[in-house]
Structure 1
Amino acid sequence: MQSTTQGSTAEQIVSAVGGPENIISLTHCATRLRFELRDAAGISQPAVESIDGVLGAVPQSGDRYQVVIGGGVQTVYNAIMNLPDMRGAKGALSDADVKAAARAKARGKVAWVDAFFEYLSDSFRPLLGVLLGGSLIIAIAAVLDALGIVPFQGVDRAAEAGATWIFWDAMWRAVLYFLPIMVAYNAAKKLDVDPWLGATIMAALFTPEFMSLTDTAKFPGTTCTTNPTLGTESCVATIFGLPMQLNGYGGQVFVPLMMVAILALVYRFLKKVFPENVQMVFVPFLSMLVMIPLTAFLIGPLGIWLGTGLGAGLAWLNTSAPMVFAIIIPLIYPFLVPLGLHWPLNALMLANIQTLGYDFIQGPMGAWNFACFGATAGVLFLSMRDKDTVMRQTATGALAAGLFGGISEPSLYGIHLRFKRIYPRMLVGCLAGGLTIGILGTLFTSGDVRGVTTGAFAFTSLLTIPVFNPIWIYVVSIAIAFFVAMVLVIISDYRTPEQKAEALAAREQAEADLALATAAPVAATSTATAAAAAPAATATLVATAVVGSPMAGRVVSLDDVEDKVFSSRALGEGVGVVPTAGRVTAPVTGTLVTVPKSGHAFGIKTDDGVEVLVHVGIDTVRLKGEHFDVAVTKGQRVEAGDLLADVNLDGIREAGYDTTTIVVVTNTKAMASVTPITGSDVAPGEPVIEVTR
């Protein structure tokens, strides 16, 4: 059953974005499908968001479009790519091979800013999985340290814990240490450069040969000095008669980002110079010959200086004004993340860990994340109270992704950005959590390290709490952020009064439609029982060959009906009637199995098992019976043409509702054929559907 649902979701998403022919490329990140479309102008965002399994939709500049799925995005992505129509669709490339299509349309005066942050985002996004995995491995180590099992914080961990600890240490440090090579690969791929070329150039600075240049005994030309403030050693080697500053590049991200940006220029120039038949040899060769020395001599030291300088500036603010720093970080993140502008801060976190041995940004950032999750928890509480199944499912998935994965996008795109009342309440939670860190950090921490710090790049979730220090300040702060945001959302609701009323009416409509669709099988059982008890009566049963129009008016296709439930044929094949008179009559002979109090719909079961639904108007359940004068009751037998209700069409229109009346055969799949008769003006009782058993 699950695979069927996923397949249906995949088909609906592809259809909603214009079909395979409208898709240039499709990739995905941790939570979102990322479409590059030929034309995104005609997409209906509410229609996309109404698809089962979709948490939200985010139009972007140009013809880019994102569909938020949550943690199951990989499964939905695979289902889409496995659709027969997608396999033959031009431009529908795999996630591993797709390259960003050239933007054909200008994106305004700040297009370069948009492109810059896309470059940062796409260089990091594919690494989220291994970064999350590494953060959980170090979280386990932190728990073991807290329990006194392994010396996670020990000065000489090799001596204290032995080979076992060193092996465990290697598992998470592999991600951080070789991160520059991974970033170089992704960045090169983003700029349409051979990604292995970018990775190779960065890897040259990680070879044992390069690292051995710091050995002054082996290389007398190398000189090393110790920084008395930081306690770090800086070495300079003489290469080709020129001084080369030697650095440890493990964990550095500014260096590969800068290197690849320059590599892209060199790479494109060389491809223009050399004929295509010799490019495979000379373009990589000359790119390496130019870029490896350039990176070692200039770009590498410059990147180290940039990262260290930015980190030192923030460290100064954190030390000099810890209260201000602890408040600013959680308050700006809610605005940076939706725009993708948080990646520079993520890069600084990694630079801090490599340079200082710890990071001080992630602690206050945790206040924002847990305020975000707290707001989602408030929405979940209200959706459970109001029996809002769709929002409950959305909030449950978003909260699970947040609390256990530290991923905020499902909450942001699936809920918070759709209901504008949430953000002010969430910001109060951010402020409360940041203020708590600032106060407690000022009172209980001192020296150069203020507030909450961590030695790992950790996604701020429940599972990574042990990596933060002091852990008690962090726990108190994120708890306050979480519960303040949650309580504020619960008290004041996340919807406006109009949105709340609309949601309630939609639920009532769905419940009514479900009751109409499911009541007929029950009636079928009772009809069969009655037939068995009185076999002689079967001779008088009326066979159904056609379904008549319940009203006078113009017959239209369900495709033209402005109700996605009916137009999708989810309730069966049928027609719409645009009425010219308000008299509603029975379209067939049979038993009324459903007559809701609102009087807007009638379900009839014929003697030979045809189940017909007459739905007067669209969303008219919200009128709660106003303008409807019902003449029948549930269980009553009616003949074709009998009066069901008199309806005030003008009153319905003045109330803002569409009067199009839908007639469908709800058990269409049980029939041999159900054929609509559309495109004509009809009187009550004239055929609009042909039925073959």
Structure 2
Amino acid sequence: MSTPAQGTGALAEDILRGVGGPENIESLTHCATRLRFQLHDGAKVDQAALDALGGVMGTVPQSGDRFQIVIGGAVARVYSEIMNLPSMTAGGTARPKSDADVKAEMRAKSRGKFAFVDNFFEYLSDSFRPLMGVLLGSSLIIAIASVLDALGVVDFRAADKSATWVFVDAMWRSVLYFLPIFVAYNAAKKLKIDPWVGAAVMAAVMTPNFTGMLNKDSGIPGITCTTNATLGTQECVAHVFGLPMQLNDYGGQVFVPLLMVALLALVYKGLQRVFPESVHMVFVPFFSMLIMIPVTAFLIGPMGVWAGNGLGEGLSWMNNNAPIVFAIMIPLIYPFLVPLGLHWPLNALMLQNISVLGYDFIQGPMGAWNFACFGATAGVLLLSVRHREKEMRQTATGALAAGLFGGISEPSLYGIHLRFKRIYPRMLVGCLVGGVLVGVLGGVDTKAFAFTSLLTIPVFSPAATYVIAITAAFFTSMALVYFSDFRTPEERAAFNAQRDASEATTRGEAAEAAEAVPADERELVAVGATAAASAGSATVKAAPAGTTATATGVGLELAAPVAGRVVGLDEVGDPVFASRALGEGVGIEPADGHVVAPVDGELVTVVGTGHAFGIRTADGIEVLVHVGIDTVQMNGAGFDVRVESGRQVAAGDLLVEVDLDAVRAAGHPTVTLMTVTNTADLTSVVPHTGQDVAAGDPVVTVKR
């Protein structure tokens, strides 16, 4: 189990050390959830140390000295932190090749079927991965339009739609139609040739000049067209340079650019060897286009279309003739494909189906797998709440949100499921139940490439069948995981014993710290149930003193109870507050004696001497305001209390007027403390120190 998450700067440095240092990195890229390293020597990776890092969900070694680190939603930020480290200014170092290296490469090629498979799927992944954002964006646009269609706001499928809705069509169709150009660009970049040449070759067969020949009534002589009885598509042939050229609409095709770029790379690199480097910029792209555009139009294009159509027809036959088998097969194989990155070919087939058939029949059954995955995560979340597993609760909460609203399964897989062997069998039962329901109820189709999340439900048809299947998959997995646990009985007993011992130790340390509190002040600890609850603040995500960082997400801002300079609890000169026995918070060197409520809530405690107040908010956050150090000894002298216990106060209401000169004359520090006494029960308490504030300015962010 990983340690609590650390700052991204520290995490970036730890990751760099874990992969063998910057000198061991040849290149680094990232996708939606993973850092992808190409290393010089994979044996230098300290996988155990990387797995133990807070913020790392898992690691995936691959052949060919490739290594993946699963980060989750923060991957882009962590990637940026790594690349901005001074030692990474070169972005990685090229691998120097000795004679031994060359011989080793040749030996690897001779025995390297696994490396070949890895290279093939890496080629597919890197050709599609950068497009996931725009594919998701287009799927959400069509999802919104589908909701409006279902509500009767607009007939989304009408042939005579207004210009407004024709334009909306263009917004999402742009991604799917021009997908071949995007894929060609990424594939060429992956194979280390000019990506714009790859894009230009693919664009040539998508221009209006080329697509205009698809219409036999265009007036262009020498064009004949026939209809494919199975797919219902029109196939046309034109005679170009006296040779027959099969014409196709390549919009949305994915196999054509993948095949084309693979051959283009050979041509491009061959031309680089033929021409002097001084003329590469002109002649290599020129001859590459001159060769590859005709080859694509005459040969690769039709081959790619045939291959895609053949696969599509095969799966369509299975879906039509054995729908239950097909609907069960898809969700049962996905849990094994996704962790290895082998699901990309099926994604390509989905796009192919939409391009050729106008709809896809794979994504519906696939939704059963995704929601079974998310249901298993929900079961883990419920158990983590039940058994007070704070770290697992936070991991499962983030993974579940990424799944239900983003359709992303990697945080669940790498953060939880692959770490506990009991989860997969139970999740597979959910996949089976969902797949059976899809098959029995007649299948589910969609006309858009959609991430299977709650937000994209409207794009599936029939929606009722889809909702029934994914709901059953979700709750089946959730129930099985919850009632049988994701830990074995032995692991659960050991974990709970360790947790109980840790909590007992925490209570003991807090009790010792509380003994240092004068008797008149101990009643304040009751504001937050017990002082012991806050001793666990060592595990709370708090910003270091002197920073002004805020908590992530939506939180409650606690206002300054008095104007002055904000300092950390370590600087207030009181060992009890510095130990956080009374919770995380701040100290304020006051500019005046006007002390106000920092938050709305109930005054549960008002000490008779007027120097301390306890406030509980409506959602259970417990705040202590303490004026001065050891001011209990003044017996109320210099304190003009304006409130009484039990009343409701609003932020900014006056609590007490304090004669600061009298406090100083009595020999006591005037620093005013504000702490959250139930810090250990919260997700984070972040103080914002090192600033001058007015009463009412935010100084602490609290997140439940």
- TM exceeds 0.5? yes
Deviation of 1:137 after TM superposition, in Å, equals 0.8
Q: Structure 1 CA distance, aligned partners of 2:212 and 2:220?
A: 9
Matches within 5 A, 1:595-634: none
Q: Structure 2 CA distance, aligned partners of 1:190 and 1:266?
A: 15
Q: Which structure 2 residue ranges, 5 or more long, are not aligned?
A: 96-103, 522-537, 545-573, 580-704
Residue identity opposite 1:18 in structure 2: G
CA 1:80–1:134 in structure 2 vs 1: closer, same or farther (change >3 Å)? same
Moved over 4 A (4+): 102-105, 508-527
* Aligned residue number for residue 462 of structure 1: 454
Deviation of 1:420 after TM superposition, in Å, equals 1.1
Q: Structure 2 CA distance, aligned partners of 1:382 and 1:172?
A: 41
Residue identity opposite 1:345 in structure 2: L
Partner-residue secondary structure (3-state), 1:41: helix
Partner-residue secondary structure (3-state), 1:35: strand
Does the CA contact (< 8 Å) of 1:222 and 1:237 recur in 2? Answer: yes
Q: Structure 2 CA distance, aligned partners of 1:37 and 1:506?
A: 38
Matches within 5 A, 1:152-551: 152-154=156-158, 156=159, 159=160, 161-216=161-216, 217-441=218-442, 451-508=443-500, 511=503
Q: Structure 2 CA distance, aligned partners of 1:49 and 1:419?
A: 14
CA 1:608–1:508 in structure 2 vs 1: closer, same or farther (change >3 Å)? closer
Q: Structure 2 CA distance, aligned partners of 1:34 and 1:514?
A: 40
Does the CA contact (< 8 Å) of 2:201 and 2:293 recur in 1? Answer: yes
Deviation of 1:40 after TM superposition, in Å, equals 3.5
Q: Structure 1 CA distance, aligned partners of 2:509 and 2:55?
A: 23
Q: Structure 2 CA distance, aligned partners of 1:298 and 1:203?
A: 16
CA 1:180–1:504 in structure 2 vs 1: closer, same or farther (change >3 Å)? same
Does the CA contact (< 8 Å) of 1:333 and 1:365 recur in 2? Answer: yes
| Residues 69-104 of structure 1: per-residue CA shift (max 9 Å, x gap) | 1122112211222223333564399xxxxxxxx989
Residue identity opposite 2:305 in structure 1: I
Query: Which stretch shifts more, 54-63 or 334-343?
Result: 54-63
| Residues 229-273 of structure 1: per-residue CA shift (max 9 Å, x gap) | 544322111111111111100110000000001111111111111
Deviation of 1:115 after TM superposition, in Å, equals 1.2
Q: Structure 1 CA distance, aligned partners of 2:76 and 2:94?
A: 16
Partner-residue secondary structure (3-state), 2:245: strand
Query: Which stretch shifts more, 187-196 or 477-486?
Result: 187-196
Residue identity opposite 1:197 in structure 2: V
* Aligned residue number for residue 144 of structure 1: 148
Q: Structure 1 CA distance, aligned partners of 2:152 and 2:313?
A: 33
Q: Structure 1 CA distance, aligned partners of 2:359 and 2:80?
A: 38
Q: Structure 2 CA distance, aligned partners of 1:467 and 1:170?
A: 17
Q: Structure 1 CA distance, aligned partners of 2:27 and 2:461?
A: 43
CA 1:283–1:14 in structure 2 vs 1: closer, same or farther (change >3 Å)? same
Deviation of 1:42 after TM superposition, in Å, equals 4.7
* Aligned residue number for residue 59 of structure 1: 61
CA 1:506–1:249 in structure 2 vs 1: closer, same or farther (change >3 Å)? farther
Q: Structure 2 CA distance, aligned partners of 1:237 and 1:370?
A: 48
Q: Structure 2 CA distance, aligned partners of 1:23 and 1:180?
A: 32
Deviation of 1:510 after TM superposition, in Å, equals 5.5
Q: Indicate the RMSD between aligned Cα atoms, in angstroms.
A: 3.2
Deviation of 1:398 after TM superposition, in Å, equals 1.1
Does the CA contact (< 8 Å) of 1:86 and 1:92 recur in 2? Answer: no
Does the CA contact (< 8 Å) of 2:253 and 2:351 recur in 1? Answer: yes
* Aligned residue number for residue 552 of structure 1: none
Q: Structure 1 CA distance, aligned partners of 2:107 and 2:149?
A: 54
Does the CA contact (< 8 Å) of 1:433 and 1:481 recur in 2? Answer: yes
Q: Structure 2 CA distance, aligned partners of 1:372 and 1:608?
A: 48
Query: Which stretch shifts more, 379-388 or 228-237?
Result: 228-237
Partner-residue secondary structure (3-state), 1:206: coil
| Residues 253-297 of structure 1: per-residue CA shift (max 9 Å, x gap) | 000000001111111111111111111111111100000000001
Does the CA contact (< 8 Å) of 2:5 and 2:54 recur in 1? Answer: no
CA 1:307–1:48 in structure 2 vs 1: closer, same or farther (change >3 Å)? same
CA 1:56–1:509 in structure 2 vs 1: closer, same or farther (change >3 Å)? farther
| Residues 534-573 of structure 1: per-residue CA shift (max 9 Å, x gap) | xxxxxxxxxxxxxxxxxxxxxxxxxxxxxxx99xxx99xx
Q: Structure 2 CA distance, aligned partners of 1:401 and 1:91?
A: 34
| Residues 165-220 of structure 1: per-residue CA shift (max 9 Å, x gap) | 01111111111001000100111111111111111100111111112223444311
Deviation of 1:525 after TM superposition, in Å, equals 5.8
CA 1:518–1:123 in structure 2 vs 1: closer, same or farther (change >3 Å)? farther
Q: Structure 2 CA distance, aligned partners of 1:490 and 1:339?
A: 27
Q: Structure 1 CA distance, aligned partners of 2:239 and 2:248?
A: 14
Does the CA contact (< 8 Å) of 1:40 and 1:65 recur in 2? Answer: yes
Residue identity opposite 1:277 in structure 2: S
Matches within 5 A, 1:88-107: 90-91=92-93, 106=108
Residue identity opposite 2:353 in structure 1: N
* Aligned residue number for residue 71 of structure 2: 69
Partner-residue secondary structure (3-state), 1:248: coil
CA 1:281–1:471 in structure 2 vs 1: closer, same or farther (change >3 Å)? same
CA 1:502–1:291 in structure 2 vs 1: closer, same or farther (change >3 Å)? farther
Does the CA contact (< 8 Å) of 2:28 and 2:92 recur in 1? Answer: no
Deviation of 1:225 after TM superposition, in Å, equals 2.6
Q: Structure 2 CA distance, aligned partners of 1:223 and 1:411?
A: 53
- Give yes or no for the alignment of 1:130 onto 2:130: no
Q: Structure 1 CA distance, aligned partners of 2:512 and 2:201?
A: 70
Q: Structure 2 CA distance, aligned partners of 1:523 and 1:85?
A: 49
Residue identity opposite 2:124 in structure 1: L
Does the CA contact (< 8 Å) of 1:24 and 1:36 recur in 2? Answer: yes
CA 1:456–1:103 in structure 2 vs 1: closer, same or farther (change >3 Å)? farther
Q: Which structure 1 residue ranges, 5 or more long, are not aligned?
A: 94-101, 442-450, 530-564, 572-606, 613-693
Q: Structure 2 CA distance, aligned partners of 1:200 and 1:176?
A: 17
| Residues 139-177 of structure 1: per-residue CA shift (max 9 Å, x gap) | 1111011001121233x0xx1x30110111111111100
CA 1:378–1:464 in structure 2 vs 1: closer, same or farther (change >3 Å)? same
CA 1:90–1:460 in structure 2 vs 1: closer, same or farther (change >3 Å)? closer
* Aligned residue number for residue 642 of structure 2: none
Residue identity opposite 2:328 in structure 1: I
Among residues 108, 117, 128, which one is paired with 1:113 in the alignment?
117
Deviation of 1:62 after TM superposition, in Å, equals 3.5
Does the CA contact (< 8 Å) of 1:62 and 1:103 recur in 2? Answer: no
CA 1:281–1:508 in structure 2 vs 1: closer, same or farther (change >3 Å)? farther
* Aligned residue number for residue 691 of structure 1: none
Does the CA contact (< 8 Å) of 2:226 and 2:236 recur in 1? Answer: yes
CA 1:147–1:5 in structure 2 vs 1: closer, same or farther (change >3 Å)? same
Residue identity opposite 2:49 in structure 1: A
Deviation of 1:5 after TM superposition, in Å, equals 2.4
Percent identity, aligned pairs only?
Answer: 67
> What is the TM-score of this pair, normalised by structure 1?
0.70
Q: Structure 2 CA distance, aligned partners of 1:304 and 1:139?
A: 28
* Aligned residue number for residue 673 of structure 1: none
Q: Structure 2 CA distance, aligned partners of 1:251 and 1:477?
A: 29
> What is the TM-score of this pair, normalised by structure 2?
0.69
Residue identity opposite 2:150 in structure 1: A
Does the CA contact (< 8 Å) of 2:361 and 2:445 recur in 1? Answer: yes
* Aligned residue number for residue 26 of structure 2: 24
Deviation of 1:514 after TM superposition, in Å, equals 6.0
Number of equivalenced pairs: 519
CA 1:333–1:56 in structure 2 vs 1: closer, same or farther (change >3 Å)? same
